[in-house]
Structure 1
Amino acid sequence: MVIALTLGVALSGCAANMAAKGSDGPDLSVVSQEATRMDVERQLGSPEQLQQQANGDWVAVYDVEPRTKPNLARAAGHGTLDLFTFGLWEVVGGPLEVAHARRVRVTARYDNAGKLLQLTSKPKPIL
């Protein structure tokens, strides 16, 4: 019992902390305005996959954790639930925050010269 209570108090605040800080990944709205492959890779890093298409275009797939803004209301909610459940809320709140900031698969299509033609993104499946 003492171990469980100590563990609950020690873990308390992790979800609230994640919500209050947000995540500092690349800003995808800025990336979509970039014009060259080098500019995109400066923001997203090296592609996970890179393939040349039959028409000469290149398709690159990036795996990124996007930037999320801090959310003080969500942080306060996690903190309140932590207090009322003696830290047990972290069992639910922690995974919720991880899912909220889940990784995104970004697909970019470039022409032969490396100019960005199209950029799409979609959340990766959780499992």
Structure 2
Amino acid sequence: MTYTNALKTFILILSCSFLTAACSSYMAANQPGKLDLDLFQSGTPKSLLIAEFGRPAQEQVEEDGVKYDIYVFNQGYSTVEKTGRALIHGVADIATLGLWEVVGTPIETARSGQKMAVKVSYDESNLVEKVFFLKRKYG
């Protein structure tokens, strides 16, 4: 390989690494936010649960007349966690001239929060009566 070809290859690799730089930083900063799980307690109005976690994935009324909702959501990360991860990825990108993205992007793809499913029963006033955590899975 001649010096000119080696230089062209190096410039091409360097250009590609700068084009992909900051993907992991961006992904870390845009992960889902941390939700208030303390709302899943007896006496909380259904409207507060909807405001925090969105519409239930499933709503049902049992034969005994008890109303149940199942909320499915990703429990994300605090602003401090997201900012710290984004900064670490940014520093690693600079230190490795963008090559960190080969490692950083798959890490952030895999770390998209904790998948959760929660079943909630309500009383006749639409206040939380019982809470059942059905699923807690990292993914």
**AA at the equivalent of 1:57:** V
**AA at the equivalent of 1:14:** C
1:73 deviation in Å?
Answer: 4.3
1:44 to 43, 53, 70: 53
Instruction: Give the match's secondary structure for 1:80.
Output: helix
Find the counterpart in structure 2 of residue 32 from structure 1: 40
Q: Does 1:120 align with 2:128?
A: no
Supply the distance in 1 between the matched residues of 2:68 and 2:48 (Cα, whole angstroms): 15
Q: Does 1:64 align with 2:73?
A: yes
- Total equivalences in the alignment: 125
| 1:87-118 alpha-carbon deviations (Å, 9 max, x no partner) | 23223212322332335223131224222121
Supply the distance in 2 between the matched residues of 1:95 and 1:121 (Cα, whole angstroms): 28
Supply the distance in 1 between the matched residues of 2:30 and 2:132 (Cα, whole angstroms): 24
1:63 deviation in Å?
Answer: 2.9
Following superposition of structure 1 onto structure 2, how do residues 104-119 of structure 1 map, counting pairs within 5 Å? 104-113=115-124, 114-116=126-128, 117-118=130-131
What percentage of aligned pairs have identical amino acids? 24
TM-score, normalised by the number of residues in structure 1:
0.69
Larger Rg: 2
1:17 deviation in Å?
Answer: 3.8
Structure 2 unaligned runs (5+)? 1-8
The root-mean-square deviation of aligned C-alpha atoms, in Å, is 3.1
Find the counterpart in structure 2 of residue 5 from structure 1: 14
**AA at the equivalent of 1:60:** D
